[in-house]
Amino acid sequence: MKKTLKHFVRESYLGLMFAENDTREIESRESYEPKDSTAWYQFFDIEYINDGGREYNSGEINGSKVHYVSARLLSLEDVEKEQGIGSTLHSNMRINGYSFVVEDKHKRYSRMYKSADEIVLV
């Protein structure tokens, strides 16, 4: 039985109407360099097992936090100060219980989070 661990990165780019995602194999997390157009990326591994000609895989394992490139983390209070209490973003965050939102380098609000521990700003 032969085991092989492969490393992958999932990247998101600004698309024409929607974000476009791409997943590709990489040599290592340490050697990865995001492209200029990358808004965010996330690492994961897949372990492949070859057992007598039959191949199995673990699915995604060892997933990293989401890494945002040139982004800013805004709290609910920051959004309130910048956009006002009645803004759509502020209302969505408050109603859904999100404490943070990420404004990416394209000035889009990418995702909302309940905890800042789920992301890394790079």
- Give 81-117 pLDDT, tens digit per residue: 999 988 999 999 999 888 888 998 888 887 777 777 7
From its phi and psi, is residue 52 left (phi > 0), alpha (psi between -120 and 50) or beta?
Answer: left
- Domain boundary assignment for the chain: 2-64, 72-121
Quote the Cα angle for 11-44-109, to 5°: 40
- Give 37-86 pLDDT, tens digit per residue: 898 999 999 999 999 889 999 999 999 999 999 999 999 999 999 999 88
Other beta carbons within 10 angstroms of residue 108's beta carbon come to 13
Q: What is the pTM of this model?
A: 0.82
* Cβ atoms of residues 103 and 82 within 8 Å: no
Q: What is the per-residue pLDDT for 25?
A: 98
Residue from 104, 59, 65, 109 nearest 83 by CA: 109
